[in-house]
Structure 1
Amino acid sequence: MYKSEKSCTSPCGVLYAVWRISLCLGLHSGSSGGPSQTSTTHQQRFEMVHPHPPITILNLAKNAAEPYGAEAVTQKQYLRKTNRGKVQKLCREHYLRNDIPCGSSHCADCQRILSAIELGHGHRHPQDSAGQADRMEIEETESTKKRRKVLLLSQSARTGHRKFTNKHYLVLDTNVVLRQIDLLEAASFGTDLIVPQTVLDEVRHRSLPIFNRLKSLINETDPTGRFIRGWVFWNESRFDTHVRREPEESINDRNDRAIREVCTWYKAHLAAHKIDVVLLTDDRANFDKANQQHILASTTKQYVEHMAQESAQLLLDLVASTGSAFESDDPNNAQKEKTKSNFYQEYLPLGQLQSGIQSGHLFQGTFRPNPYNYLEGSIFHDAFDKPLLLIGRESMNRAIDGDVVAVELLPREEWKSSTDDVVVEQDAAGPAEDPDPESAGSSLEEEAEQKESRTISKTVKKAGPGTNSQPTGRVVGVIKRNWRPYVCHIDRASIPISALQSSLSAHAVFAMPLSRSVPKIRIRTRQASTLANQKILVSIDRWEPSSRYPEGHFVRALGIVESKDTEQESLLLEHDIPYRPFGKAILDCLPAAGDKWVVPEKSSSSPLWNNREDFRDLMVCSIDPPGCQDIDDALHAKRLANGNIEVGVHIADVSHFVLPDTPMDVEAASRGTTVYLVDKRIDMLPSLLGTNLCSLRPDVERLAFSVIWELREEDSKIEAVRFTKSVIKSKAAFTYEAAQIRKDDSSLKDEISESIRLLNKLAIQLKKARMDNGALNLASPEIKIHMSSSESSDPVDVEQKESRETNSLVEEFMLLANISVARRIYESFPQTAVLRRHNPPPKTNFEVLQDVLLKRRGLELDVSSSASLASSLDKCIDPKIPAFNTLVRIMATRCMLPAEYFGSGSVSKDTFGHYGLASEIYTHFTSPIRRYADVLVHRQLHAAITDGPLPTSMNSKAFVEKIMTNINKRHNAAQKAGRASVEFYVAIAIKAKQQTLQQKSPSSIPRSIPGTEPSPAAYVTAEAFVIRTFRNGLAVFVSEYSLEGLIKFKEDQEYDGERYEIGVSRQTGSSSKSASVREQTDGGLVKIGIFDKVSVGISTEQDRSTQRGRVKMVLLKPINSSNL
């Protein structure tokens, strides 16, 4: 049929075919031209997304004068939804060939094709960031030849299987890749995996994270480095294996047929070599049809069970429970499913959810659990001023933190208010539950269910209808799951005795996630006794309506609980921080001279000096925190002849080294930001750049991107501004403290000291102008952790960071640079400028804080504008408590919305503003070593001032928005990881202080007994402020340690929600007078409310069952909470 269609074998025709193939795969972004627009930059993007086509397809185009095989052309039709919601039908030509190699090291015919490709012409150098450098041929070296060498599947193939005894390759179908990627990645699972193009494309469209993992898996080599683990077979582009979709055939059925066609072709192609091909599928229909076509097929679980015994026992733990076998075939399983009762309602079909959302009957939002009550959650929706409440397990209906859900609104008479109780899952359900789903209905399960039901009834009753009721609803479906691998501990109480005796049979146990916002996960493992004291990684597979908890599978062990290495890796995994070493392809992008690279001599013939000014004689210096190695900003100031001041901000020219669309650029875009932990840094860029070639070290010539202003000395008004790339030679690198000392020492009259004083004078004026314009001076708790030595990571003390004038000096000029650059790039690129905004918070966000301030301190908080809020915050002062104003600012900060990156063409101009800075436009330009957004801004600014072209992708609004989404995600994750790292080291410091106290007075300080309350003398004492009150507890903030903690009482206390206070009986707990807490004599109650200063005892503990470590707090004054 195809042979009668038009063929094309000319060089131009083959190039056109290649371009069409890449277009069909969604790789040709931002261009609508023909083959003449295919560039080396596009080729590199192709190579990074698809590992093998650069050799098997793109090089065919290079050598098309001697085509390897005949071609056929067919057509592919697509439906595409435009940005305006319209559906377009596209028809594109699809070229087929008969020379796509199989990847087997046994096939001589395919190896001849690959050998010819390996002898092709040299590579071409990519365009530079401005798109100005011509693409030049470079010499074919041994290293480039090595990179062109194509690695194949192993010569031995897969052997030693107890069911498929012949040598064989595994062909993966889509559902196996999507569900079993953890198993496939395991080294012990082996090599020789064939991934059809059909599967690659499906995975790419359904899950980009798994697609990236699949790419990495395919490119991995065996221990010898001679063979690869996986081979992409481009079946959609091969004449023999391309299949057309039949009338009335679903896309899924067509793709399954295409995968089976791959198996059939391989079976015939490798028959002479006596190598079998086994289809690995967990799809029942695909499995049955494969058997009908006499294709060897297996489910994942069946295949692993028949692997070598030593491998099978461990690998079975990695098999995902969803679709891992056809349980429905077992009549016993079918009967069990019938007798199971549902804990939750079934979800509505996706089509019904979408139509309900469009009609306004249902409301879509992101599910967020209540951090104080695991039986309560909420979503935010523009239709409501307050969050839409979800109370009880049934209403939350299997939603997990971050899931995008559809919620049905309950009738107004069923609306409730948020509860005033602290409810912890272990207290409500307890560890007595049986993790084995087969035991559903057992006495343990019934007891746990009854206990939780009583807790729910109690909290729901307290959250009944009233004047403070909120919109209330129930989840009826999940639009998008936010499941990810979770760091967990095994709940020891759930481990059967037989498992602790090292039984090799699988047992169901509970994995307790590190994040308390995630429910415990039921897994089956043969390693329960081994994993009992370790942190592990667990993935959720499914959550059926009949199961109280989600089901998942073990991924891998991380190490012993409380080991520092284990805790650090757990922290990075929990917050999805990429920490893999930089690969060879990335390191190959670095300058060949390595750390010997220097700025070339100034010459008109040197491309580097084109459009670059020489600032090496300026008195430039940097001011940074102690120990800073990635110095990406420096400043200078000097007086001009006309009386004005020239100020320069000089930023590391990272974009000179990180070229668009290179592997290093792609990796930096993926990482998004450098992550700063207490004792380590996870770099966005290789250290050669971040801490050396790009770092603006003193007395070393470095490339920079400079913003130069002419400012009036009397008021810092901008008279002129210009932007230029430059070369600088910093004269000094100061810490904030050293710069402050230099500024304050009036005896120092040198040029650098005078420059710092001049910069400080101007910075004070700039800050005043910002504050007068309505900028907010908010606060966030920051502390410094002291280590025992420079070589040790053992914390010995914690102190609050001191902010100096020089901190503000640097901040003001960085802000000014960011604002100036934002205006310039928006002027040139109004549709794709990379900007940052901070939306005004809804006024309802401040309602509680306003009410608390008014009732507890008689203070008013005006939130009508940022200027009014700033003025109100300045007036929130308590003369008796100096720290009160800082506390209020911290609480106000929590009412704000987070700032975010965005593309200028994606939102209306009136939403560009930065609320906190009171600026109409803003971006990030000043930290390109550690933020990828700044790298993009540098490229845009350079293109703007030179009238040069941008990389093609940067002209696409969709591409910019996609990058911004990832950067926002990475930025938020980095902040959370940083805070978690601080909390971990603070906990270690507190534990060390406890041990020191015990060593000083071992006889007078009784050691705490596991499971009992420690003696008050065993606690580290500190002052704290109450920031929230509950019927059965207090939330407090300890500024000394930057810690927020929960003090939980065993019983409910007298609670006054109107006054935000609780009343504790003096007979119940031993009281102690405190000047900041009001005492009420009537009834013998001690009243404690929000903003009151209290004394707390802090300790660290580890739950013996769940292995969770935490910082625990108890109230010591004005009353001891030990008996509460």
Structure 2
Amino acid sequence: MKTSRSFVKKTKKGAVLKVVREHYLREDVWTCWKDDERVTLESPFISQEALQSAPSSRLYAFQHLILPDTNVVLHHIDFLEFHAIVNIVLLETVLEEVKHRNVSAYKRVRSILSDKSKNCIVISNEHHKATCIQRQDGESANDRNDRTIRITSGWGEKQLESYDCRVVLLTNDRENKDKALASNLLACTVQEYAGSLSAWPELMDVTSSGDTYDGATTQTDLFSAHLSLSAFHENLKTGSVFQGTFHTQRDNPFEGHVTVSVLNGQVLIHGAAHVNRAVDGDVVGIELLPENEWSTPSDSTVLPEDEAAENEETERDDSSGIENPTSDKIRAKLDCSRKPSGRIVAIVKRNWRPYCGTLLPTNMKTSVRRLFVPMDRKIPRIVIETRQGDALDRKRIVVSIDSWPRTCRSPCGHFVRVLGDVGDKETENEVLLLEHDVPHQPFPQIVLSDLPAVPWIISDEEAKKRTDLRHLCICSVDPPGCTDIDDALHCQMLENGNYEVGVHIADVSHFVRPGTALDKEAANRGTTVYLVDKRVDMVPELLSSNLCSLRPNEDRFAMSCVWEIKPTAEIIHTQYLKSIIRSQHAFTYAEAQLRIDDKHKNDEVTKSLRSLNAMAKILKQRRVDKGALLLASPEVKFTLDDATHDPIDLEAKQLRETNSMVEEFMLLANVSVAERISREFPVCAVLRRHPQPAPSNFEPLIKAASLKGITLEVDSGKALSNSLAQAVLPGNDYFCTLIRILATRCMTQALYFCSGTEPESEYFHYGLAADIYTHYTSPIRRYADIMVHRLLATAIAADTTHPEMIDSRRVQEVCNHLNKRHRMGQYAGRASIQLSAQLFFKGKNVTENGYITSVRKNAVYVLIPKYGIELPLFLDQPSFSPPFVYNERAPSQVSGSVCLCTFDRVVVSVTLEEQDHMPGRLKLQLVEPKVHGAAVLNSDGQSLRKKRKVSST
């Protein structure tokens, strides 16, 4: 059946056109469980087993399906995701409106649809003769959609009559519910339905609305009203307001900045009133303050317990207004370092997401209102209503924000789910993966179905397409315990005195074909994430640890980059091959180093390693001469208990020549491949660039170094490299390493990009001093490398292109996604190290050397090289006599004759401070230099001074 829809449209010149569109309707419209399984209307909507597995409802004791409207999907997606909510009917009308209004919610709906246990049905109601309706005169689009949902609900009732099953319409729209009931349909609100499921009382918390309670309200407005979007866009045109993304300071949640492109810089936002209910990541509109009100960034470090008012504030009326806990009179004395400052006047797009954290304890046991503390210190505390407060104490839970009215001191939200006990290792790992948006669920069956059958055997047909390199003496060099081996090396002398050197990389792209479910899952994950005690793979383990891993004495597919190189490390010729290899050895860095150093060994593989090591030293020096930076980071290695996987030892990683040897040839391969694919694909090559940092990034480091008599030149990478090489402080052997660590923190983020989106002058990689660069050598753990492999295979005529590979716009979209995944994966890894460090120091009192990395108004940050951890040492304690005084110009902290500056060595004790209802926190105490009033700790980590005081009392 064909229908026509017409509407009137005005052209730019004012002419009126009548537009007619045809719409095709069917009587046998398809319904589906998921994308690849469909049933016709003649078949049952849902199996009898699935209907019987539905939760028991006090409202509807019979078999039924639930049909949520658009508002329920948008605002109660947590309810629909709850494991007990099954047999859900989703309409095409609802899905399209959700997709248009909230992409994040739409993605979560798609995840629900792909979960077979949810028994979801999708109905293409807009293409069925009985359920597609025309919009009436004077009827809004929203009213038309609500009417469509009601009509489809009634139509579904008729289809299910013979199956003894009914349809329940879920809607929180009172008018829609009343009209449904008037039409003899079953309808209720989400809260009513949740309350009828007595087996899951927590669903009442999941469905509680932030608008149903005040959330620490006052009688007066605490915040300024936000501009409407229309008013904001009008002001944006006149230049009186600006748009940007709000970023909160990592260690101070009461301050942040907005990067405004038209102002070519950042605007400081200081204080709760000026932040005006914005949350980290929100797209906001800002208004610049008068220049005499500009401020300077805070130089204080904030403890978690200082970040908001106490829990009691959620249970009392307080109209005293908002005070910034870190504000002080010093800010009134502005100097030349003050920054352009502003206030947030509009919220263009919210960045709210589910947050992990814990509930603060309360003395009011009967209160249902509780204060939730997010793990992310950049997020304000959230007020929720819960009737299961006692059960949630000392639990890691997930909470979502619903609203933040002007009269509320904190945002209002609702409980989503429990993750586990505070301090439990598995729970804490789950938390850090969720907080860093790391996809970590088991690979779905549709992805696993794309894997090759095992045992996997190389066919003769495939072998003929590849160069057989199994005769070469190839070996891999990796960290201990590495199972995802994606690179191997070989080196052999040629008759002309030159060397043939090969870098062989696992050919993951052979197994991960474009457009497959496996490919889409790998692209979404973007990178393998390494935690201290586990690995979250980008591709299934069959590939990562088996078929793609270049394990010794097993035939493997590889992409090989082979050079003819002079003994002076000059490249004569480069060749790229799809190959078959058989690695002969899998060394650790330490084992390879022992081979090189053992003068009694002269076998083929040892000679190969020595030649590679000699050339690597030449390559490294050549890069340094060109301006490459030799930076450092405080990396640590944990020794884990075999049974519990708890850390039993912690030490800084030891770097050997073999680390540098592997790194140099991986860098050389990356540069060579970047040159090749950029020539073949000048507008769609996947490359990696590292922008030069702004000189202002180095200002604190330059200032701190100058106090030690060290001059840093930062005009270019070459100048900085030379300065760092000459940075030596007599009597401080660690100074050279420390200044390189701090220089690393001044760098900008390296980024993946599509070659067609940037001019060639922007291809430069600042840290490596490379004109062009890419990632090619780790396709098991980086999706960018898989994209590069596909480009290279096409360039050497070993494979064909596919549409998305040569679409520069699409390639750049994927690069943006990979940049985010790479960054969040790094953050997750660091958080895992912090978590394991807490477990390691539990019950210990360790005294160690440390070095000051920065000086703040109330603290100094101390890096402990042995353990690779950096913590604040708070100096604003009343016990210090005389108290420490902060000198902003130095900067330094002075107490009597003791002066603490950046790079100074100190001795500190490290203990784990246990907290009720909250996770423990590592804490430093000053041991040396000695300051009167500094705490002295006993073997149990308790303060002797405090203990004596208690005894005398």
TM-score, normalised relative to structure 2: 0.91
1:100 to 4, 26, 29: 29
1:187 equivalenced with 2:83 (yes/no):
yes
The SS at the match of 2:90 is strand
Distance 2:286 2:405 in 1: 18
1:744 equivalenced with 2:605 (yes/no):
no
Give the equivalent residue in structure 2 for 1:440: 317
Give the equivalent residue in structure 2 for 1:683: 537
Amino acid at match of 1:201: E
- Superposed, 1:156-555 pairs within 5 Å as 156=52, 160-164=56-60, 167-189=63-85, 191-222=86-117, 229-245=119-135, 251-271=141-161, 275-284=165-174, 286-287=176-177, 289-290=179-180, 295-305=185-195, 307-311=196-200, 313-322=201-210, 340-382=219-261, 387-424=266-303, 426-427=305-306, 429-436=308-315, 439-441=316-318, 453=323, 455=325, 458-459=327-328, 461-462=330-331, 464-492=333-361, 494=362, 496-498=364-366, 507-555=368-416
Distance 1:245 1:865, change over 3 A: farther
Distance 1:540 1:720 in 2: 59
1:667 equivalenced with 2:547 (yes/no):
no
1:1055 equivalenced with 2:883 (yes/no):
no
Amino acid at match of 1:631: I
1:1027 equivalenced with 2:880 (yes/no):
no
8 Å CA contact 1:1023, 1:1094 repeated in 2: yes
8 Å CA contact 1:634, 1:696 repeated in 2: yes
Distance 2:281 2:709 in 1: 38
Give the equivalent residue in structure 2 for 1:1036: 862
Distance 2:628 2:43 in 1: 63
Distance 1:871 1:889 in 2: 12
Amino acid at match of 1:677: L
2:808 to 957, 976, 997: 957
Structure 1 window deviating more from structure 2 (254-263 vs 341-350): it is 254-263
Note the alpha carbon deviations across 1:116-141, whole angstroms, 9 max, x for none. Answer: xxxxxxxxxxxxxxxxxxxxxxxxxx
Distance 2:92 2:400 in 1: 26
Distance 2:698 2:798 in 1: 46
Distance 1:461 1:823, change over 3 A: same
Note the alpha carbon deviations across 1:802-855, whole angstroms, 9 max, x for none. Answer: 11111111111111111111122222222221111111111111122212222x
Distance 1:234 1:516 in 2: 44
8 Å CA contact 1:391, 1:460 repeated in 2: no
Give the equivalent residue in structure 2 for 1:1095: 907
The SS at the match of 2:620 is helix
8 Å CA contact 1:179, 1:320 repeated in 2: no
CA RMSD across the alignment: 2.9
Amino acid at match of 1:98: E
Distance 1:690 1:77, change over 3 A: farther
1:644 equivalenced with 2:498 (yes/no):
yes
How far is 1:771 from its partner? 1.2
The SS at the match of 2:328 is helix
Distance 2:758 2:70 in 1: 36
Distance 1:697 1:1050, change over 3 A: same
How far is 1:688 from its partner? 1.0
How far is 1:169 from its partner? 2.2
Give the equivalent residue in structure 2 for 1:911: 762
8 Å CA contact 2:216, 2:313 repeated in 1: no
Distance 2:493 2:188 in 1: 79
1:697 to 548, 551, 557: 551
- Superposed, 1:728-743 pairs within 5 Å as 728-743=581-596
The SS at the match of 1:802 is coil
Give the equivalent residue in structure 2 for 1:1111: 922
How far is 1:744 from its partner? 1.5
Amino acid at match of 1:534: K
Give the equivalent residue in structure 2 for 1:1071: none
8 Å CA contact 1:421, 1:459 repeated in 2: no
The SS at the match of 1:1099 is strand
Distance 2:575 2:383 in 1: 61
8 Å CA contact 2:271, 2:324 repeated in 1: no
The SS at the match of 1:815 is helix
User: Matched residues, percent identical?
Assistant: 40
Distance 2:47 2:62 in 1: 23
Structure 1 window deviating more from structure 2 (738-747 vs 291-300): it is 291-300
- Superposed, 1:917-932 pairs within 5 Å as 917-932=768-783
8 Å CA contact 1:1024, 1:1093 repeated in 2: yes
Amino acid at match of 1:574: E
Distance 1:670 1:460, change over 3 A: farther
Distance 1:730 1:101 in 2: 53
Amino acid at match of 1:1110: R
8 Å CA contact 1:619, 1:731 repeated in 2: yes
8 Å CA contact 1:630, 1:691 repeated in 2: yes
Distance 1:802 1:77, change over 3 A: farther
How far is 1:337 from its partner? 12
1:617 equivalenced with 2:496 (yes/no):
no
Unaligned runs of 5+ in 1: 1-70, 80-88, 116-148, 223-227, 328-332, 500-506, 995-1018, 1066-1078, 1080-1085
Structure 1 window deviating more from structure 2 (364-373 vs 478-487): it is 364-373
Amino acid at match of 1:629: T
How far is 1:288 from its partner? 5.1
Distance 2:140 2:627 in 1: 58
Distance 2:261 2:736 in 1: 32
Amino acid at match of 1:1056: N
Note the alpha carbon deviations across 1:500-519, whole angstroms, 9 max, x for none. Answer: xxxxxxx1111111122211
8 Å CA contact 1:404, 1:480 repeated in 2: yes
1:573 equivalenced with 2:453 (yes/no):
no
Give the equivalent residue in structure 1 for 2:13: none
Distance 1:588 1:809 in 2: 39
How far is 1:454 from its partner? 7.4
Give the equivalent residue in structure 1 for 2:458: 599
Amino acid at match of 2:357: C
The SS at the match of 1:577 is coil
Amino acid at match of 1:863: V
Distance 1:176 1:812, change over 3 A: same
8 Å CA contact 1:375, 1:423 repeated in 2: no
How far is 1:1122 from its partner? 5.1
Unaligned runs of 5+ in 2: 10-17, 936-953
The SS at the match of 1:433 is helix
Distance 1:630 1:454, change over 3 A: closer
Distance 1:1025 1:197, change over 3 A: same
Distance 1:389 1:273, change over 3 A: same
Amino acid at match of 2:365: I
Distance 1:948 1:701 in 2: 21
Structure 1 window deviating more from structure 2 (566-575 vs 800-809): it is 566-575
